[in-house]
């Protein structure tokens, strides 16, 4: 039973460490990295424990020792993520977002900011407790069970819409991006949009620097606030040391910009504003460089494919020196086959596979209500190999992980529009904590949803027994909630797949910011501004032919960003 789990656990830990190192910004403190990593690890531990729970339920339903071990791991994973997402992470997030100059003041600011959050959570809990007392006097779940049910219900209701969007959008995006022309159009729009955002962020960062410098210049050395200003001055000096190429341009002083030196709180606001402006600038710069580099690489790939006859089906890169010798010839041919032929075909194959999996999940969700017939593909597969431990756990893990990917994909789309961002090497501490909170919040409901899609002959897994029946725990949603919300999700997914909401938003043009931003928005022809930027990059490639160091596409994108 534990073979799959014991193999998956270290792989999960390795994936968490790699993901953190890839996305975390350079200023993220170690305690934030540890908190985020532990929250991700606990969340994913729930996902990889589900297959083991299913196998135990099928093969050894009455084995008390193994059930006890699984119950222990459920408690550790679930309550670890529960406490992190609803208590620990919000406090650390407020602490990291505060601009105060001492640990005590930052903690006070964090508690003050989170009072609203805790008030809302407390009110919901109080309402649920009152409903429990008045409508379910004999329910034995207890207060902790009620908290679990409320948290799970929140995840199921909101997660249904997130999952539905991902089930539709991921296969569609993969299929469309396999087409080079479509991808070029998308990238031209993204480069143009990001260039505008980068310019605005540069101006905002320059303005923050000018304001900080002007505030410092007008403050005397005997001023009581001078020690706080010295901290900000050191912060500025460190910024210029880390990036000597940055030159403030367009910085300007507004009417109220010199009011920062009135008290300690205003100085904390100045420090926070400077930090946020810096984070936003480097985040947009990183995204801009990524899109430019991808667009230039794609242009290079297309040219190699068009010239395949003259080059002997070898990949001739514009971003690095040519390879020599027999090994170089072999590598050039292999790179050509991969970049120009195999990669786009594999994207299409993967899009078809994921599309089939999305359809299977929707069919399983839509047929939950008629319990007489089992039309869930995953349930049929698991029951057909129920005597083979590895196959049972693989057939459970793959669709469950895909449901997680779809849900988290939608979460990141929301974040990029409003709350947070996930940017390689430039994700701030606040964004990392917000993302880890969301990831932890949705892992148990996704698992609960998946377990509803499979039939185990009337037996319940340990997880389902621990989570309880939401119909009994949350009277507000009424009897049959577990069967109703999937149908709503299926309907929503079909509307997304048919572009219904895009048509509605197109009719009410001012509502564009109230919906998910999809790549379909960037497929309406090429963006002229983006093409001009990319053409400048292509024209400057020759100046990088003798560069042997950092990837030329990255260096070129960096040069174009200034």
* Secondary structure of 262-302 in HEC code, one letter for each residue: CCHHHHHHHHHHHHHHHHHHHHHHHHHHHHHHHHHHHHHHH
Instruction: Check residue 243 and report its DSSP letter.
Output: -
- Can you name the residues that pair with 427 across neighbouring β-strands? 24
E-state strands within 149-254:
none
pLDDT value at residue 168: 92
Asked if residue 453 lies in contact with residue 365, where contact means CB atoms within 8 angstroms, the answer is yes
Compute the distance between CA of residue 231 and CA of residue 427 in angstroms, rounded to an integer.
23
CA separation for the pair 342, 149 (Å, rounded)? 47
Around Cβ 335, how many Cβ atoms within 10 Å? Answer: 17
260/251 Cα distance (integer angstroms): 17
- Token pair in block for residue 50: 């589900």
Contact 241, 280 (CB under 8 A): no
What distance lies between CA 224 and its chain's CA centroid?
Answer: 43
Give burial (CB, 10 Å; 0-12/13-18/19+) of 237: exposed
What's residue 460's pLDDT? 83
Residues of the chain falling short of pLDDT 70: 1, 61-66, 124-125, 128-129, 131-151, 250-261, 369-373, 415-420, 467-483, 505-524, 537-562
What is the reported pLDDT for 70?
A: 83
Rounded (10°) CA dihedral 274, 275, 281, 286:
170
C-alpha to C-alpha distance for 439 and 44, rounded to whole angstroms: 9
Residue 560 is predicted with a pLDDT of: 56
The pLDDT of residue 133 is 66
Q: What is the pLDDT of residue 476?
A: 47
User: What is the token pair recorded at 401?
Assistant: 């992980």
Q: For residue 341, what pLDDT is reported? A: 92
Give the burial class of 239: count Cβ atoms within 10 A of its Cβ; 0-12 exposed, 13-18 middle, 19 or more buried. middle
Tell me the C-alpha distance between 295 and 560, whole Å: 13
CB-CB contact of 114 with 96 (8 Å): no
For the chain, which residues make up each domain, given as ranges? 2-169+389-522
pLDDT in tens, 375-385: 788 888 988 88
Q: Please, where are the H alpha helices in 307-388?
A: 308-311, 325-336, 343-366, 377-384
Q: pLDDT value at position 542? A: 46
| Cα–Cα distance measured from residue 166 to residue 163, given in angstroms and rounded to the nearest whole number | 5
The Cβ-side half-sphere exposure at 2, using a 13 Å CA radius, reads: 7
Lookup result for tokens 């910085």? 251
Q: Note the pTM of the prediction, 2 decimals.
A: 0.84
């Amino acid at each position: 039973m534990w073979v799959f789990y014991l193999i998956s656990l270290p792989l999960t830990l390795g994936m968490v460490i790699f993901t953190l190192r890839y996305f975390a910004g350079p200023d993220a403190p170690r305690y934030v990295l540890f908190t985020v990593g532990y929250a991700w690890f606990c969340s994913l531990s729930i996902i990889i424990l589900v297959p083991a729970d299913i196998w135990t339920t099928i093969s050894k339903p009455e084995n008390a020792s193994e059930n006890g071990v699984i119950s222990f791991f459920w408690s550790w994973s679930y309550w670890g993520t529960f406490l992190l997402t609803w208590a620990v992470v919000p406090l650390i997030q407020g602490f990291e977002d505060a601009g105060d100059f001492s640990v005590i003041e930052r903690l006070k600011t964090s508690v003050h900011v989170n009072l609203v959050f805790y008030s809302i959570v407390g009110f919901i809990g109080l309402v649920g407790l009152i409903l429990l007392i008045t409508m379910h006097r004999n329910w034995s779940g207890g207060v902790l069970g009620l908290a679990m049910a409320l948290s799970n219900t929140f995840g199921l209701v909101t997660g249904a819409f997130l999952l539905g969007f991902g089930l539709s959008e991921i296969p569609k995006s993969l299929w469309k991006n396999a087409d080079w022309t479509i991808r070029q159009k998308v990238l031209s729009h993204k480069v143009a949009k990001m260039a505008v955002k980068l310019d605005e962020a540069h101006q905002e960062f320059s303005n923050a620097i000018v304001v900080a410098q002007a505030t410092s210049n007008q403050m005397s050395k005997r001023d009581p606030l001078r020690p706080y200003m010295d901290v900000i001055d050191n912060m500025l000096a460190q910024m210029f040391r880390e990036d000597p190429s940055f030159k403030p341009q367009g910085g300007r002083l507004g009417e109220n910009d010199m009011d920062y030196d009135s008290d300690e709180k205003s100085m904390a606001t100045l420090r926070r504003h400077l930090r946020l402006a810096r984070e936003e600038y480097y985040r947009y710069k990183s995204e801009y460089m990524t899109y430019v580099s991808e667009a230039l690489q794609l242009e290079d790939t297309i040219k190699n494919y068009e010239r395949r006859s003259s080059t002997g089906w070898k990949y001739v890169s514009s971003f690095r020196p040519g390879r020599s010798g027999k090994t170089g010839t072999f590598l050039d041919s292999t790179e050509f086959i991969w970049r120009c032929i195999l990669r786009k075909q594999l994207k299409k194959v993967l899009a078809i596979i994921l599309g089939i999996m999305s359809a299977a999940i929707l069919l399983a969700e839509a047929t939950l209500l008629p319990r007489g017939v089992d039309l869930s593909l995953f349930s049929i597969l698991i029951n057909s190999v129920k005597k083979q431990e590895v196959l049972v756990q693989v057939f459970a893990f793959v669709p469950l992980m895909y449901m997680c990917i779809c849900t988290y994909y939608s979460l990141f789309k929301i974040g990029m529009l409003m709350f947070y961002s996930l940017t390689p090497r430039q994700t701030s501490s606040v964004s990392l904590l917000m993302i880890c909170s969301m990831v932890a919040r949705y892992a148990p409901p996704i698992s609960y949803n998946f377990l509803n899609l499979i039939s185990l002959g009337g037996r319940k897994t340990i997880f389902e027994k621990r989570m309880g029946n939401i119909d009994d725990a949350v009277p507000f949603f009424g009897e049959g909630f577990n069967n109703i919300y999937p149908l709503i999700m299926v309907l929503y997914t079909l509307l997304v797949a048919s572009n219904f909401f895009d048509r509605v938003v197109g009719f009410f043009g001012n509502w564009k910011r109230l919906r998910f931003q999809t790549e379909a928005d960037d497929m309406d022809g090429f963006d002229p501004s983006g093409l001009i930027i990319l053409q400048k990059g292509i024209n400057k490639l020759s100046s990088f032919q003798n560069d042997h160091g950092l990837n030329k596409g990255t260096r070129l994108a960096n040069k174009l960003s200034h």
